[in-house]
């Protein structure tokens, strides 16, 4: 995870070493509560976003809360003990996003883990060419946030001028997924699999 993210209370800083080679990065204490990432339940879907969220949680950066959309009304009560609350980008809609801003002032910092803009996913799912920019609502809502975490640099230019902090934390590769180099007799064939969810084609 190239420039991995460390969240300590209300502070964010980059780490030079991959997370998988370190111990837990955040520990809860009476003075510092572990950040909370809120996402919809995966429902068994295979997604790079869900995997990223889970791996970051395993590394100790945040706790993950699976919360169905119909229970967002209880978010204020659930998240009250956390100093930092991060919303998954699936929630970046006019219907769902306001529930997160309503956490203030009980929650010190509100942020976003931006895997993709919902408007772009919707366009691709409808068979339309995805827009080249976020919607006005998506972009203006981001200006109300304290931090936006990007799993890669691909949306950085679209967030130019954002009022909050922009942090890039690339995922990297687990050691368990690495294979020892070996000589091959024939052609090396590579298979790339991605975008396996319904709305990520």
Q: pLDDT per residue over 47-101, tens digit each?
A: 889 999 998 998 888 999 999 999 999 998 888 889 999 999 999 999 999 999 9
Q: Is residue 197 part of a domain?
A: no
- Is residue 189, in this structure, part of any structural domain at all? no
Q: In which domain, by residue range, is 33 found?
A: 4-177
The reply to whether 59 falls in a domain is yes
Residue 35 forms part of a structural domain: yes
Name the burial class of residue 132, with classes exposed (0-12), middle (13-18) and buried (19+) by CB atoms within 10 angstroms of its CB: exposed
Radius of gyration of the chain (CA): 18
Does some domain include residue 118? yes
Q: Is residue 165 part of a domain?
A: yes
Q: What is the pLDDT of residue 54?
A: 92
- Indicate whether 195 belongs to any domain: no
Specify the number of domains making up the chain. Answer: 1
In a domain, residue 199? The reply is: no
Could you tell me the two tokens for 201? 């084609």
Give average pLDDT by consecutive 10-residue segment, the chain, 201 residues.
38 37 40 84 85 90 94 90 94 97 94 96 88 95 96 91 92 67 78 54 40
CATH number at residue 159: 3.40.50
Please give the DSSP secondary-structure letter assigned to residue 146.
Answer: S
């Amino acid at each position: 995870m190239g420039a991995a993210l460390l969240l300590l209370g209300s502070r964010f800083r980059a780490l030079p070493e991959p997370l998988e080679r370190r111990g837990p990065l955040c520990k809860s204490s009476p003075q510092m509560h572990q950040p909370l990432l809120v996402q919809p339940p995966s429902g068994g879907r295979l997604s790079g976003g869900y995997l990223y969220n889970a791996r970051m949680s395993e590394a100790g950066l945040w706790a993950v809360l699976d919360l169905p959309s119909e229970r967002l009304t209880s978010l204020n009560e659930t998240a009250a003990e956390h100093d930092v609350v991060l919303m998954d980008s699936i929630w970046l809609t006019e219907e769902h996003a306001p529930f997160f801003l309503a956490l203030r002032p009980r929650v010190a910092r509100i942020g976003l883990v931006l895997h993709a803009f919902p408007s772009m996913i919707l366009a691709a799912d409808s068979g339309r060419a995805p827009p080249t920019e976020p919607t006005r609502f998506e972009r203006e809502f981001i200006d109300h946030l304290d931090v936006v975490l990007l799993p890669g640099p691909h949306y950085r230019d679209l967030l130019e001028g954002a009022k909050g902090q922009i942090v890039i934390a690339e995922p990297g590769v687990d050691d368990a997924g690495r294979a020892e180099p070996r000589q091959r007799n024939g052609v090396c064939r590579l298979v790339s699999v991605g975008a396996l969810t319904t709305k990520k084609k």
